[in-house]
Amino acid sequence: MTTLLVAATDLRRRIRNRSALITAFAAPLALAVVFGVLVGGAGSGGFRIGIVDADGSHMARAMTAELTHGAPAGGTVRFAVLRSPAEARRRVDDGDVDAAVVIPAGFGAAAQAGHARSMLVLQRADRLVAGEVARAVATSVGDEIQRVALALRVLAAGGTAPSPALVQAARRQPVPISFGRIPLGGRELDAAAFYGASMSIVFLFFTISLAARSVLAERRDGTLARILATPAHPAAVLAGKTLSVAVLGLAGLLTVWAVTALAFGARWGAPGAVALVMAATVFAVGGLSLLIASLARTEQQADAYTAVVTFSLALLGGNFVGPSQMPALLRTLSLATPNGWSLTAFTDLSADAAGLGSIATALAVLLACGLVTGGVGLTRVYRGMRA
């Protein structure tokens, strides 16, 4: 009863105090969107490459058809057939496509005759990665065509004219570009989901540290003494304060999940497992935040300790770059943080690569972290309330 009363009153006050809402909801959501768009191309669906067949030869037509139909639907690289180099230039400039590959007139005949003829890649200066993708496509296709043409010429030079069937078979060879993905699992990692989880975890530290911070503030303001003068048990009061920020933190995570999924199509993975990882993350971060804040004697100290530990763990845990992009040593070290375990679980779920075992391990580690650090933190705060 006391716990729920304190939790409800604390929540009411925090909702009126908009800074808590910013920490729990607005800031992680805004940063998740910004990071997702900047780093992951959230909302763009990957790279869109234009293809211009200015040659019209059988080889060029086959190449264009293979690229446009060979790429998987909804994949990272998609191709669009454009009518002319001029249109390609205009659409690259406008940003309708990220880059374009132009197959020049006479390309097929030159290849069959053994003459070098370059394809043209158009890219914008600010879309370097897309340009590299288009260049890789052109190089790979060109190399394979040269190999087939060389084989045919070798046969011809040996006095044996290639049979029409062989020539046709060579022409029917698929364009040697494959669009497979890094086999994380069934799907590609979703940047919006990753940064949604990542930024929510960072701000969760600040949200949950409000519990211990509020004990310090209430001691300063005298309301803690007034509460302790009532029959309410101090442990129930502390539980209420912790419950209120845990609810706020979990609501923040759920909001970021809902908004990124609905507005940006972010794929977080199986909802039940995602909810479990979120709850375990709130528990782990809650414990650690309480421990950090319990070391402080003033609100200013609590803020400073929370900021230092939060950003250190965020850097180490891979919140800003993602564990998969970290060097091997740091990737291992990231598993010394609750952030690392939580992000690994969210990443696996988003990529559909999570086995029951890996998620269970992450959940167990997060719960253990919350129990140990939260236990010590709560004991320290409780003693502080009675001192």
Partner 1 sequence: MTAAPPGPALRCRRLVRRFGDRVAVDGVSFEIAAGETYGLLGPNGAGKTTTISMVAGVLAADAGDVTVRGRPIGIGAGEAKRAIGLVPQDVALYEDLTAAENLRFFGRLQGLTGPHLRSRIAEVLEVVGLEDRAGDRVSSYSGGMRRRANIAVGLLHDPALLILDEPTVGVDPQSRNQILESIETLGGAGLAVLYTTHYMEEAERLCDRVGIIDRGRIVAEGRSGTEMA
Segment interacting with partner 1, rule: CB under 8 A, options 8-16, 85-93, 308-316, 367-375: 8-16
Beta partners for residue 52, in sequence order: 82, 102
Residue 307 makes contact with partner 1 by CB under 8 A: no
Q: Report in angstroms how near the CB of residue 376 gets to partner 1 at its nearest.
A: 21
Interface with partner 1 (CB under 8 A), residue from 120, 232, 316, 333? 232
228 binds partner 1 (CB under 8 A): yes
Cα–Cα distance, 242 to 220 (Å, whole number): 19
Write down the least CB distance from residue 291 to partner 1, Å.
Answer: 23
**Stretch of 103-111, 115-123, 225-233, 277-285 lying at the interface with partner 1 (CB under 8 A):** 225-233
Ramachandran sector of residue 267 (left: φ over 0; alpha: ψ -120 to 50; beta: rest) = beta
Site for partner 1 in 16-35 (CB under 8 A): 16-17
Block residue for tokens 């650690």 = 288
DSSP state of 90: H
Q: What whole-number distance in Å separates Cα of residue 326 and Cα of residue 319?
A: 11
CB of 222 to partner 1, least distance (A): 3
Could you give the C-alpha distances from 334 to 221, 338, 356, in angstroms and in order? 39, 8, 21
Specify the stretch interacting with partner 1 by CB under 8 A; choose among 9-17, 66-74, 117-125, 354-362: 9-17
For partner 1, which stretch binds (CB under 8 A), given 50-58, 219-227, 250-258, 349-357? 219-227
**Least CB distance from residue 3 to partner 1, whole Å?**
11
Chain centre distance of CA 337: 18
CA-CA distance, 372 to 178, in Å (whole number)? 49
Q: Read off the tokens for 151.
A: 């084989």
Q: What gap in Å lies between CA 50 and CA 102, rounded to an integer?
A: 8
Q: Is 147 among the residues that bind partner 1 (CB under 8 A)?
A: no
Nearer to partner 1, 11 or 276 (CB): 11
Q: Which amino acid belongs to residue 344?
A: T
Q: Which residues bind partner 1 (CB under 8 A)?
A: 2, 5, 9, 12-13, 16-17, 221-223, 225-234, 386
